Structure 1
Amino acid sequence: MGGALAGGESRPTPLGHTMTEKRFVVGEKRAEGIGELKSSVSINAFSKGAPPNDERKRFFTGSSSLSTGNMIKPVVVPKKKENQDKVENDLVMFSKNFQVQIKGGTLPKIIERCTNESATDNNFVDTFLLTYRTYLNAGELLEMLFERYNIPDPQGVEDVALQQFNEARKIIRLRVGNLIKRWLTHHFHDFNDNPEILNRLTDFVNSTYMNTDPSLGKSIIGQIDNSRKTKERENSFSSPPPKSIIPTKDSFDDFDPVEVARQLCIFEQQMFKSIHTKECLNQGWNSKTNEKKLELSPNVTRMIRHFNDVSFWVQAQILSQKKLDLRVKMMKKFIKIMKASREFNNFNLIQEILAGFAGNAIFRLKKTWAKIEKEKKVFDEYSQLKATLAQDHNYKTYRDVLKEVNPPCLPYLGVFLTDLTFLEDGNPNILPLEGRNDIINFEKMRKVSVVIQRIVIYQQQPYNFTKVDMIYNYFDSLASKTMTEAELYSLSLEVEPRE
């Protein structure tokens, strides 16, 4: 192998993490003003410093009953420091870009802010709806919104004050209804996954809004019906899809590289689009057991496994060629697939193949790499693709390229998971304040929300390709075509023994 691949070259082998868990309780607070909530919701916070997850190190890498939440894990409250954040009225504020924003607050206070009678901040609401599962489940949130709606009448106040209160309560109930509609519109899977919660919401709307605000009540019920019907909408394209290249035989050797890239765009995009926003919270994909991974982050976990399956399958295809020239031919075919993938903005597939090339069983094939390097055009194409997804400076080149591409696009999921892990491990879920263990770190939630929103953006635009069953089905059963790392390395030694 030549100089370009020698030495301490970095290869795509990121790590995962496992976690431990404890629990603590949000302290109850007595309401002090109009519409203030109280809560005894149990919450947890993530711990740090857990050992790496050993399962297939190629990739870096929920609904409960009403009484059980997906709780967060603990933080240790430190001793008092100078210039520590101050809690006023159960909120911690800070100034950013000449605007005062909420850095943290108790869960009831954050819900109050989402349904404030004076103004609504949709960005704040969207951040909360994207990240609330860090602290509670859908059923618990729904009950807190019901409590927010059912603000009791104040006792012993004059008529003028009572009139003002009723006006404020009317606006708060409107805000609660609008928040529920936004929740249904953007996160209907929270309800679709748990019919009990959806029935509870429907009963509540029929018994409250249909009496106090029939127009809003009908709008909420209408949104439920629309969300139920909108499982899949037909995609409309302004131009016809490119003509498919149909293979004559059900064999990878007979598959055209460009069509392979197209079919994997379709296959992987369906997988990527299936990822729910809630799967991106709390590092569920890094859970200790496969069962827990599939419970908390099922589609993220499946995409990680697919990534690993492709990278191992790439190695198996190369090593199945006993003759040197055939191995070179197979590697050139994969480089053509990567080149087509770059044209289609499928960075995930490029990284899958690069991970296969970087596997120990392929990386050591000096004779094979020497032949590839002699074909300057091919090797330059490979080198450019590799440079685009290099890990240097936290994938800076790739991030810059991604900013400029137009959809459709399949980003490399591992970078998003890296960003989420960094945010989770580097920021506590509960602000470490002396004497308080109930102030949610909402600024962290904003940062997590930004990453999740980027994922959602790339889920929107589909590829205008036609499914070719023979090729698509080949990759649908890819797991059966892979080999273990030990088997691959043994085969590598057979085709190119140690010198």
Structure 2
Amino acid sequence: MDAVRQNSTEDVKDANRFWREEREEGAIYDTYLKKVTYRTISEHDEESKTFSHLMWETQKVRTIRAGTLEKLVESFSTASGEMDSAYVNVFLATYRTFASANQVLAHLIDRYNIVKTQFEQDDKNEVLESQVKTIKSVLSVWLDTYPEDFRTPPNYECLETLLRFAEESVPDNDLAIKAQHKLDRFLKETDETGDFISTIIPVPTIESLVINTKHDKPLTFLKIKNQTFAEQLTLRDAELFMRVVPHHCLGAIWSRRNKKGRSEVNSVSATIDQFNGVSLRVISTVLQSHDLKPAQRAKIIQKWIDIAQDLREIKNFSSLKAIISGLQAHPVYRLHRVWMVVSKETKAIFDELSDIFSDENNQITSRELLMKEATAKFPDLNTGSNTLRKKKSLQKRQSWIENGIVHGTIPYLGTFLTDLTMVDTAIPDYTDEGLINFDKHRKEFEVLAQIKLLQSAAQVYNLTVDTAFWLWFDSVQVFSDHECWELSHGIEAPSELSAKIRKKSASLGHKPRGDVNFHTGMLCTFSSQEEKISVNSMSDSALSTSTGQQQLSPSSSVSSLLSSDSDIPSSPFRMADMCVIKATLELDNKPTAHIYKSIMLHNTDHTNSVVQKVLEKYDIQCREGEYYLSQVMPDGEWLLPQSANVFYAMNSLADLKFVLRNKEQQDEYEKRKKKGRKNLKLSL
């Protein structure tokens, strides 16, 4: 009696049931019991293929949880010898955090030779034959899916090794042809010095735009159409997001914790630089010229909010977040008299847009909205409390449908960078036995898969470059933290409430120690991933910029912005005995572009141990007591004593940002702080 095997839909829900953990030398497996059904065919009905009844059996399925690199490579094939596609995808997307391409290729070749020898000695065993085919398939998939792993000029060692192996051991396969084609292509893409010639279209510069628009009258901010503004930012954001290499977003690579990853984050950095560029220009346009009246400055704020609304309508959440962050930056949101002039309707729009990025419950609002509209042709505009605006939005939607205009989706990358940094920080790379923790990489892959899905959605946009707009954009002067502080306080002096808050903070022992970082939630948001992004625990903080900044909770409403002159810190990820903090190392009396490293802080960690953790992230060795640790506060810094328990000594109500300086830098910082106080008194 023949049996035709198939998995039924009703069995999928309970297909795998965890049984037990199994261990062997160099590997730990999770074992599941898988229910497999059969439809049997009666012998007398064999010609008509009539099914007589169902039968089922239970099979044991093992998935590797942790292991050596050799064992991980062996797991490419299942017990039956077939390729485990899901596992292969996870491995190829994440292996760079624990192995090099040369190491993986060497293990694959060794595995192939071992299996092929066994196959030839074991009378053509079917399982071994399948394993040989699986290794060939993995190599082919790897070369097709991640060609950049083999682009290592000038010698291309990895690709040359693969080519030699394919020619000598796999003559009946097209792997050698494919490898040779890749090598020829890479050689054409390099110059005579062996450097890779980028095929990326360069971003327009001021010089190039002047040539194209020298006869045109320069644009001014208020005269640029909101739609033009939104479309041009979306064009740039879409191009940059599609160039992001997903595995560059991995915490261990993005944080550059390993030296080998130091030059592998350009695709992510470009997106962050654009985000910061938008946020900085929001601040600059609002703070420009002391001669503007509150009503004129309010008109600038209102225009930015209108642009943000247009960005929401075409599903560009990256620049939308950048604008919201810029408006929530300390130098801008503290301008009470200006915000008082902004219309109630505009403030309501601002509140609604800010709520999208609320930190509440790990930014659940923005996550749900992104998943809902990720691959939708049109945005969901039937939201908000303003009836007239709802009607206009629905009219826009109908117009898009009638004209066949489809919008893509551009996410705020900081959300994914933060998630990946949290996974990297919270889950160890290796088990206690020294095995590679592959469960960690499965969690990372879930995030990378979302990025890939959204990159496909970003390809839908059909926009053209407006060179005049980018001439204006690149010509806007951006200000440093100190300049923003001076401009903001020159426009509107600190309020009495702000002074009271500073006094209360000092009474609690959190003494202001130096200059203030202003770019709150904004440049902050690309928090992260440890480098230009600072991780605000389980949620995003604000994208950090080259000028530095602190975060304001994106969910803060306009009314709350007008009620205080102090920063409103977001809720940090804090458990009973641990939390995640962000620390940066100051070099040459300048913070390292506010590149924050995420550190897991326990309730037993003292200042010296925290200093060592930070220095390890920067690959720096020093003797105890050579560096000083300060917490960055809304109104200055708080220097922690060398023997303090940081978990209990820090101000948990402020953003958990810290800066590290050596003795010479700390002394210089104290001098600059005193000088700044004197200058402030004179200006007042």
Question: What TM-score do you get using the length of structure 2 for normalisation?
Answer: 0.52
Alignment of 1:147-166 (within 5 A): 147-151=110-114, 162-164=122-124
CA distance in 1, matches of 2:22, 2:239: 46
Pairwise CA distance, 1:173: 2.8
Q: What is the match of residue 71 of structure 1?
A: none
Q: What is the identity, as a one-letter code, of the residue corresponding to 1:472?
A: W
Structure 2 residue aligned with 1:272: 241
Q: Any idea what SS the aligned residue of 2:114 has?
A: coil
Aligned partner (choices 321, 325, 334) of residue 364 of structure 1: 334
What is the distance in 2 between the residues matched to 1:328 and 1:151? 73
- Which residue number in structure 2 is paired with residue 203 of structure 1? 164
Q: 1:335 to 1:203 in 2, by over 3 A?
A: same
User: Is contact 2:302–2:346 with CA below 8 Å preserved after alignment?
Assistant: yes
Question: Following the alignment from structure 1 to structure 2, what is the Cα–Cα distance between the partners of residues 111 and 160?
Answer: 21
- Partner-residue secondary structure (3-state), 2:66: strand
Q: How has the CA–CA distance of structure 1 residues 100 and 92 changed in structure 2, closer, same or farther, with 3 Å as cutoff?
A: same
Equivalent position amino acid for 1:206 in 2: E
Assess, with a 3 A threshold, how the Cα gap between structure 1 residues 348 and 154 changes in structure 2: closer, same or farther.
Answer: closer
Match of 1:427 in 2: 427
Alignment of 1:127 onto 2:121: no
What CA deviation, in whole Å up to 9, does each residue of 1:29-81 have, x standing for no partner? Answer: xxxxxxxxxxxxxxxxxxxxxxxxxxxxxxxxxxxxxxxxxxxxxxxxxxxxx
Seen in structure 2, the aligned counterparts of structure 1 residues 97 and 420 have a Cα distance that, compared at 3 Å, is farther
2:253 corresponds to 1:284: yes
> Counterpart in 1 of 2:74?
112
Question: 2:31–2:63: 8 Å Cα contact kept in structure 1?
Answer: yes
Deviation at 1:487, TM superposition (A): 0.5
The corresponding residue for 1:472 is 470
Equivalent residue for 1:410?
Answer: 410
Asked if 2 retains the 8 angstrom alpha-carbon contact of 1:275 and 1:300, the reply is yes
Q: SS of the counterpart of 1:392? A: coil
Q: Distance in 2 between matches of 1:217 and 1:426?
A: 42
Task: State which of 462, 465, 477 in structure 2 corresponds to 1:481.
Answer: 477
CA contact (8 A) 1:420 1:448 kept: yes
Give RMSD over aligned pairs. Answer: 3.3
Distance 1:293 1:442, change over 3 A: closer
Contact conserved, 2:162 with 2:179, CA < 8 A, in 1?
A: no
Quick one: distance in 1 between partners of 2:187 and 2:356?
A: 41
Q: Match of 2:135, as an amino acid?
A: V
Deviations 1:201-244 (A, max 9, x none): 2232222212xx245544665677799999989xxxxxxxxxxx
Q: Distance in 2 between matches of 1:419 and 1:160?
A: 47
Alignment of 1:342-381 (within 5 A): 342-372=312-342, 375-381=343-349
Q: Does 1:386 align with 2:322?
A: no
Structure 1 counterpart of 2:479, which letter?
Answer: M
The verdict on how the C-alpha distance between 1:398 and 1:135 changes in structure 2, with shifts beyond 3 A counting, is same
Q: Which residue of 2 aligns with 1:90?
A: 26
Residue correspondence of structure 1 range 257-268 to structure 2 within 5 A:
257-268=226-237
Secondary structure at the counterpart of residue 114 of structure 1: coil
Unaligned residue ranges in structure 1 (runs of 5+): 1-83, 234-246
Q: How far apart in 1 are the matches of 2:246 and 2:175?
A: 27
CA 1:369–1:448 in 2, change beyond 3 Å: closer, same or farther? same
Structure 2 residue runs without a partner (length 5+): 1-19, 35-60, 190-197, 201-215, 377-406, 496-684
Secondary structure of residue in 2 paired with 1:101: strand
Indicate whether 1:138 and 2:108 are aligned: no
Deviation, 1:124, is 0.5
Correspondence for 1:188? 147
Residue number in structure 1 paired with 2:282: 314
Contact 2:29–2:62 (Cα < 8 Å) also in 1: yes
1:15 corresponding residue in structure 2: none
Count residues with an aligned counterpart: 390
Kindly state the Cα deviation for residue 416 of structure 1 after the two structures are TM-superposed.
Answer: 0.5
2:166 corresponds to which letter in structure 1? Answer: V
Q: 1:179 maps to which residue?
A: 138
CA contact (8 A) 1:258 1:336 kept: no
Distance 1:413 1:313 in 2: 19
In 2 relative to 1, CA 313–88 (structure 1 residues): closer, same or farther, beyond 3 Å?
A: same
Give the partner amino acid of 2:440: K
Distance (whole Å) between structure 2 residues aligned to residue 325 and residue 293 of structure 1: 49
> Closer, same or farther in 2 for the Cα pair 1:214/1:400, shift >3 Å?
closer
Whole-Å separation in 2 of the counterparts to 1:293 and 1:189: 14
CA distance in structure 2 between the partners assigned to 1:494 and 1:219 by the alignment: 64
Aligned residue for 2:75, secondary structure, equals: helix
Q: Is residue 335 of structure 1 aligned with residue 335 of structure 2?
A: no
> Displacement, 1:143?
1.6
User: Hey, what's the Cα distance between the residues in 2 that align with 1:248 and 1:142?
Assistant: 58
User: Measured at CA, do residues 152 and 473 of structure 1 come closer, stay the same or move farther in structure 2, by a change above 3 Å?
Assistant: same
The structure-2 alpha-carbon separation of the partners of 1:288 and 1:86, relative to structure 1 and needing over 3 Å to count, comes to closer
Deviation track 1:370-398 (CA, whole Å, cap 9, x = no partner) reads 122xx222111111100011111110000
In 1: Cα distance, 2:452 partner to 2:120 partner: 47
CA–CA distance in structure 1, aligned partners of residues 244 and 122 of structure 2:
47
Identical residues among aligned pairs (%): 26
Following superposition, the deviation at residue 452 of structure 1 comes to 1.1
* Residues 1:153 and 1:146: Cα distance change in structure 2 (over 3 Å): closer
Q: Larger Cα Rg: Structure 1 or Structure 2?
A: 2
Q: Deviations over 1:102-128 (max 9, x none)?
A: 222221111111145622211100000
Q: In 2, Cα distance between the equivalents of 1:337 and 1:292?
A: 41
CA contact (8 A) 1:389 1:398 kept: yes
* CA gap 1:350/1:293 in 2 versus in 1, 3 angstroms: farther
Deviation at 1:307, TM superposition (A): 2.1
Q: 1-side partners of 2:364 and 2:297: how far apart? A: 32
User: Hey, what's the Cα distance between the residues in 2 that align with 1:97 and 1:459?
Assistant: 36
* Separation (CA, whole Å) in 2 of partners of 1:336 and 1:292: 44
Write out aligned runs for 1:22-101 (5 A): 87-94=23-30, 100-101=62-63
For 2:384, the equivalent position in structure 1 comes to none
Separation (CA, whole Å) in 2 of partners of 1:111 and 1:277: 22
Q: Which residue of 1 aligns with 2:225?
A: 256
Find 1:491's aligned residue among 482, 487, 490.
Answer: 487
Q: What is the deviation of 1:415?
A: 0.8
For 1:239, the equivalent position in structure 2 comes to: none
Query: Aligned pair in 2 of structure 1 residues 160, 365: CA closer, same or farther (>3 Å)?
Result: closer
Partner of 1:29: none
CA distance in 2, matches of 1:273, 1:329: 34
Q: Is the 8 A contact 2:159 2:179 kept in 1?
A: no
Q: How far apart are 1:250 and its partner, in Å?
A: 3.3
Instruction: Look up the SS of the partner of 2:269 in the other structure.
Output: helix
Name 1:3's counterpart in structure 2. Answer: none
C-alpha distance in 2, partners of 1:292/1:249?
45
- Quote the offset at 1:368 in angstroms: 1.1
For residues 424 and 215 of structure 1, do their structure 2 counterparts lie closer, same or farther at Cα, with a shift above 3 Å needed? closer
Are 1:264 and 1:472, in contact at CA under 8 Å, matched by a contact in 2?
Answer: no
Which has the larger displacement, 190-199 or 180-189?
A: 190-199
Kindly state the Cα deviation for residue 443 of structure 1 after the two structures are TM-superposed: 1.1
Letter in 1 for 2:424: E
CA contact (8 A) 1:327 1:368 kept: yes
Higher strand share: 2
Measure, in 1, the Cα distance between the counterparts of 2:301 and 2:120. Answer: 81
